[in-house]
Amino acid sequence: MEPMRELGRMLIFAGAALAAIGALVWLAGRPGGFPLAPRTLPGDIAVQGKHGSFYFPVLTCILLSVVLTLIMWLVQWLKNKATRV
Protein backbone atom coordinates (compact mmCIF):
# COMPACT_ATOMS: atom_id res chain seq x y z
CA MET A 1 0.00 0.00 0.00
CA GLU A 2 1.18 3.52 -0.63
CA PRO A 3 2.85 5.21 2.34
CA MET A 4 0.57 8.27 2.20
CA ARG A 5 -2.58 6.12 2.18
CA GLU A 6 -1.28 4.15 5.14
CA LEU A 7 -0.46 7.38 7.00
CA GLY A 8 -3.92 8.76 6.24
CA ARG A 9 -5.59 5.59 7.50
CA MET A 10 -3.51 5.65 10.67
CA LEU A 11 -4.42 9.32 11.31
CA ILE A 12 -8.12 8.59 10.83
CA PHE A 13 -8.02 5.72 13.34
CA ALA A 14 -5.97 7.78 15.80
CA GLY A 15 -8.46 10.64 15.49
CA ALA A 16 -11.41 8.30 16.05
CA ALA A 17 -9.72 6.82 19.12
CA LEU A 18 -8.96 10.29 20.47
CA ALA A 19 -12.57 11.36 19.89
CA ALA A 20 -13.84 8.26 21.73
CA ILE A 21 -11.53 8.93 24.69
CA GLY A 22 -12.62 12.57 24.72
CA ALA A 23 -16.28 11.52 24.77
CA LEU A 24 -15.64 9.20 27.73
CA VAL A 25 -13.83 11.95 29.64
CA TRP A 26 -16.63 14.38 28.84
CA LEU A 27 -19.24 11.90 30.10
CA ALA A 28 -17.24 11.22 33.26
CA GLY A 29 -17.03 14.95 34.01
CA ARG A 30 -20.80 15.44 34.05
CA PRO A 31 -22.56 15.94 37.40
CA GLY A 32 -23.99 12.39 37.33
CA GLY A 33 -20.65 10.87 36.43
CA PHE A 34 -20.09 8.16 33.85
CA PRO A 35 -23.36 6.22 33.54
CA LEU A 36 -21.79 2.82 32.80
CA ALA A 37 -18.99 2.88 35.39
CA PRO A 38 -19.09 -0.10 37.73
CA ARG A 39 -18.88 1.13 41.29
CA THR A 40 -18.00 -2.06 43.15
CA LEU A 41 -18.47 -5.48 41.62
CA PRO A 42 -18.92 -8.58 43.81
CA GLY A 43 -15.38 -9.89 43.15
CA ASP A 44 -13.58 -6.68 44.06
CA ILE A 45 -11.56 -6.55 47.27
CA ALA A 46 -12.27 -3.64 49.59
CA VAL A 47 -10.83 -3.46 53.11
CA GLN A 48 -11.61 -0.55 55.43
CA GLY A 49 -9.33 -0.15 58.42
CA LYS A 50 -8.84 2.34 61.23
CA HIS A 51 -6.05 4.27 59.58
CA GLY A 52 -6.69 3.65 55.90
CA SER A 53 -8.38 1.61 53.28
CA PHE A 54 -7.40 -0.74 50.49
CA TYR A 55 -9.31 -1.38 47.27
CA PHE A 56 -8.30 -3.75 44.49
CA PRO A 57 -10.80 -4.25 41.63
CA VAL A 58 -10.10 -7.91 40.78
CA LEU A 59 -13.29 -8.61 38.86
CA THR A 60 -13.18 -5.23 37.14
CA CYS A 61 -9.64 -5.96 35.92
CA ILE A 62 -10.66 -9.38 34.61
CA LEU A 63 -13.73 -7.94 32.89
CA LEU A 64 -11.70 -5.14 31.32
CA SER A 65 -9.06 -7.63 30.15
CA VAL A 66 -11.67 -9.83 28.47
CA VAL A 67 -13.34 -6.89 26.73
CA LEU A 68 -10.02 -5.44 25.49
CA THR A 69 -8.87 -8.89 24.34
CA LEU A 70 -12.06 -9.33 22.32
CA ILE A 71 -11.69 -5.87 20.78
CA MET A 72 -8.05 -6.51 19.83
CA TRP A 73 -8.96 -9.92 18.41
CA LEU A 74 -11.72 -8.34 16.30
CA VAL A 75 -9.39 -5.59 15.02
CA GLN A 76 -6.73 -8.15 14.09
CA TRP A 77 -9.31 -10.38 12.40
CA LEU A 78 -10.68 -7.47 10.36
CA LYS A 79 -7.15 -6.38 9.44
CA ASN A 80 -6.25 -9.89 8.24
CA LYS A 81 -9.50 -10.15 6.32
CA ALA A 82 -8.86 -6.81 4.59
CA THR A 83 -5.31 -7.77 3.54
CA ARG A 84 -6.47 -11.08 2.01
CA VAL A 85 -8.89 -9.36 -0.37
**Residue 54, SS3 per DSSP:** strand
Q: What span, in angstroms and rounded, lies between the C-alpha atoms of 53 and 83?
A: 51
Q: Which helix (H) or strand (E) holds 47?
A: strand 45-48
- Cβ-proximal residues to 41 (8 Å cutoff; 6+ apart), any chain: 57, 59, 60, 63
Question: In this predicted model, what pLDDT tens digit does every residue of 29-83 receive, in sequence order?
Answer: 777 666 665 566 788 888 899 999 988 888 888 888 999 999 999 989 888 887 8
What pLDDT is stored for residue 69 in this prediction? 96
Give the pTM.
Answer: 0.51
Q: How confident is the model at residue 9 (pLDDT cuts 50, 70, 90)?
A: confident
Q: What span, in angstroms and rounded, lies between the C-alpha atoms of 27 and 21?
A: 10
What pLDDT is stored for residue 7 in this prediction? 86
